[in-house]
Structure 1
Amino acid sequence: MKLSAEAGLWCTRALDAPAPLVAVLEVSGAVLSWLVDDADAEPQITFTDVRGADWLWRVVGETGHATVATALNGGPAAGDLEIAGVDVLPGALDALRRLAVGHWLRRWWPASHRDAIAVLDAAVLDGEIAVLTAGAQEFFGDDTFDSDVTQLLEPHAAALSSAALQGDPRIGELAGRCREIAEDVGVAWDVPVAAVRRDDYALAAGADIGRGADHFVASGVASINWSAVPAGVFDAAENTVAWAVEADRDTVQAMVSADLLGGGSPNGIPVRLRAGGFGGSGSLSADGRCRFAITGADGQPATDSQGWNHDWRATAVSVGAEVEESAEMRERVRALARSRLDRPGDDAFLAEILAAESDY
């Protein structure tokens, strides 16, 4: 096993890929990472506390565990370290990789009405992840981020119970296993189910910003950086943000509207517009829209004449946090999602299979 120092921690290999392409799982004393579109790629193991990684013998054998613990107990990580005779046992991390992919589906699945990439049923997916998590408790400590079964099950008790009544035996079996786990961890499961229904795409389209008046001086579209916004709120297609600049009555204002999925509210998510020396910012409302004033480089409100005479062709609009992200990376994730729906593999989640079956 070869280890290298990265940010002061020992890790087995470097994954040169942005976050939306990496499935991550925090276990006791380490973080495990896999490239999601390369099933044969080796995982990266980053040790945060090798003494807390009491599961390591399951992965490298008892002798290997002792060797690694001894080698990493000598001080801070620096340079490279070769630990002879220690390798990850074949298949030892397969179950954890599938669990990591499940969390990746929660965080990065590119659901899109425009691109016809179906929403995954959140209750079914979280239920599956809860079952996998409960079956891997020997890898988790009390304070690990990905070990909270209660958080996975509690919001979905009614939805899973309702879905189980629809007659699909696969969902019924999953709901039964989730009920057993819920009883073990103290999650209430006997809840009313009559009013439960799916709301996928309930707020699907929001890009129409009401153009048509003579005072619109410029308009265009922009794309949302996925890592800048919460999961499940916005349509994951490109060019789902419409913007327009209006100059009228000696004021210049921007209007922005984003396509929504209905999985959460965009209320309060920041929006910024920049065009040369002019710009402004605001926050989306619950319907995915906002309006804000445009100011000049001096911080003063832009005038009507400035709005009409400015070149708006280089306008940039961003939604959410300030992050760098490429359209090519997002398309790579979409290609993976489509392939998983078109040809569900042995590691497919029931939520994916149901989404594929509904795509007709």
Structure 2
Amino acid sequence: MSWLTVDRTADGEVRVVPGTTPEIPEPATTRPVFAQAGLDVAGAVLTWPAPGDPGPPTALVHDGARAQQWLWALYGPQAAAAVAACADGRSGPVTVPAGPADPRLSADATRLALGLWAARWWPASDRDGIPAPPADLLGLELAALGHRCQQLFDGSGDQVDDSAVDLLDAHRAAIGPLLRWWRTADDRAQFAAPVPVPAQVEEVLRLVDALADLAGLDGPELRLLREEFDGAAPAGGPREGELSPLSGFGALFARPGGYALAAGGPATGAGAGAGAGAGSGSGSGRVIARGVGQCDWRRYPPGFVDAAEEAVTWTARAEGSGRRIEVEALAGAVVPADGVLLVAQVRVDGEPAGRVPLARRDDVWFGRADLVLPEAAAARIEVDVLLPGFGGSEDGPPAPAADREAVRTLARHRLSMAAGPVPYDSPARPFLAEIAATDAAEDF
């Protein structure tokens, strides 16, 4: 039997913590944001201790009345009553049995949290061979899941994860390729990798169609989808003027010009796979020190920098009596808007950090600056890359490397599942975007 502990925090919020015994659980160890999955729902924030964890989430409830619409379905009626009593001050800490709950809502909420985590923190890396799920396809799946999870939201506008309509509108470009995938899904000979159960593709398309109809969205992609389900489209095969089905379904989500929507494709710049001091920005002068910088994913937006642990490198050079540092970071798949520059924080022997602006050149971020080094013993040089003002993470200790490696392990595990058959009714089944990313990576 599963148990839930309900108590009130010092800030007046109500906390629901799952456990396996009716004892008050120990406080959970704080983990970096990129190592957790979460959902901002009506009156509360839900967090899973790890992305894809099938167990019930922890809830931090700041509005007990708004949360009642989903508490009973996610945790069971006794938990809902305990939260109401605790929020009103009628009860102190209490442990209640979990359930009976709605298993479908629980599974959908877990998948939605995992998908949103993947959209924000997937460790895409050319160097590590971890391709990124196609952004439009993942966004379309999240829109479908968000539609299924509407019980968690109340439309008040203060829940950042209640974005199913916005996701559909932003990622509607994936509808056409997904329709082509669905039409040819039964002809397995046309594909280079195992095809997922066609019902999974159809489910996403039907949910997207229902969501678009409910929200009053329109456009050529949505009309094409509506015609498909209204029976106006020809059964099977591409429409007149469309390309023939491609040899691998991952290629359906390729960028114009042939670049796949996956960071795992081959990099084209001189910085790809380069070590410290190599690449497009290499300078002259005698090398006096080189090393690997901090790669803390919290300090810049996802996709700006390759997620490999040694993506950031630096080289210190001597030119006459002067000293200079060059910093290089392997770029990710996201090309920032013009004028957006990363910076490298350079700290020597623990002194206040100086900053080196980094500009993107092909597949690397590169910058150089003069450096002051002590005359005597070898200096301890620390380099960290960040985007000024992003996420409030410029200060504080870096996240442990072990947490980043755990995330890479999870991504590799999910990609390995995506390469083979997974039961359709499994809550751990891969997203279509993960399957497409795996297939696209195999095409290179």
Name the TM-score, length of structure 1 as normaliser: 0.82
Q: Which moved more, 1:317-326 or 1:100-109?
A: 317-326
Q: Which moved more, 1:90-99 or 1:37-46?
A: 37-46
Deviations 1:205-245 (A, max 9, x none): 53534436234433222241112211122211111112122
Q: Which moved more, 1:128-137 or 1:277-286?
A: 277-286
**Structure 1: runs of 5 or more not aligned:** 296-301
Is 2:333 the partner of 1:262? yes
From 223, 227, 231, the counterpart of 2:302: 231
Secondary structure of the 1:284 match is strand
Contact 1:179 1:189 in 2 (8 A): no
Q: Which moved more, 1:27-36 or 1:88-97?
A: 88-97
Q: Which moved more, 1:115-124 or 1:142-151?
A: 142-151
Is 2:157 the partner of 1:157? no
Q: Which moved more, 1:44-53 or 1:335-344?
A: 335-344
Distance 1:29 1:2 in 2: 18
Q: 1:272 to 1:156 in 2, by over 3 A?
A: same
Deviations 1:43-79 (A, max 9, x none): 211112111112222234456534431332129x9xx
Match of 2:238 in 1: none
Is 2:262 the partner of 1:200? yes
Q: 1:356 to 1:250 in 2, by over 3 A?
A: same
Q: Which moved more, 1:221-230 or 1:340-349?
A: 340-349
Is 2:346 the partner of 1:273? yes
Match of 2:227 in 1: none
Match of 1:121 in 2: 134
Contact 1:130 1:152 in 2 (8 A): yes
Distance 1:342 1:285 in 2: 35
Match of 1:349 in 2: 431
Distance 1:181 1:283 in 2: 44
Q: Which moved more, 1:48-57 or 1:154-163?
A: 154-163
Secondary structure of the 1:134 match is helix
How many residues are aligned here?
346
Match of 1:89 in 2: 100
Deviations 1:31-53 (A, max 9, x none): 11112367354421111211111
Contact 1:279 1:294 in 2 (8 A): no
Q: Which moved more, 1:178-187 or 1:12-21?
A: 178-187
Amino acid at match of 2:135: A
Q: Offset at 1:147?
A: 0.6
Match of 2:50 in 1: 36
Match of 1:189 in 2: 219
Distance 1:270 1:161 in 2: 39
Distance 2:41 2:300 in 1: 25
Match of 1:293 in 2: 369
Is 2:316 the partner of 1:245? yes
Amino acid at match of 2:385: V
**Structure 2: runs of 5 or more not aligned:** 18-26, 186-197, 225-241, 244-253, 387-392
Q: Offset at 1:343?
A: 2.5
Match of 1:46 in 2: 60
From 107, 119, 122, the counterpart of 1:109: 122
From 21, 25, 34, the counterpart of 2:39: 25
Q: 1:146 to 1:87 in 2, by over 3 A?
A: same
Between the aligned residues of both structures, percent identity stands at 28
Contact 2:108 2:148 in 1 (8 A): no
Q: 1:94 to 1:165 in 2, by over 3 A?
A: closer
Aligned positions of 1:73-88 closer than 5 A: 73-74=88-89, 81-83=93-95, 85=96, 87-88=98-99
Secondary structure of the 2:359 match is coil
Q: 1:176 to 1:136 in 2, by over 3 A?
A: closer
Contact 1:126 1:152 in 2 (8 A): yes
Secondary structure of the 1:286 match is strand
Q: 1:311 to 1:183 in 2, by over 3 A?
A: farther
Aligned positions of 1:132-171 closer than 5 A: 132-142=145-155, 143-165=158-180, 168-169=184-185
Distance 1:312 1:260 in 2: 30
Distance 2:206 2:107 in 1: 24
Q: 1:27 to 1:278 in 2, by over 3 A?
A: closer
Amino acid at match of 1:337: A
Match of 2:408 in 1: 334
Distance 1:177 1:40 in 2: 23
Distance 2:352 2:60 in 1: 44
Deviations 1:129-182 (A, max 9, x none): 100101111210222110112331223222432453465545963456434423
Match of 1:10 in 2: 14
Q: 1:203 to 1:245 in 2, by over 3 A?
A: farther
Contact 2:14 2:83 in 1 (8 A): no
Distance 1:213 1:294 in 2: 13
Name the TM-score, length of structure 2 as normaliser: 0.68
Distance 1:351 1:95 in 2: 17
Match of 2:70 in 1: 55
Distance 2:124 2:346 in 1: 26
Match of 1:298 in 2: none
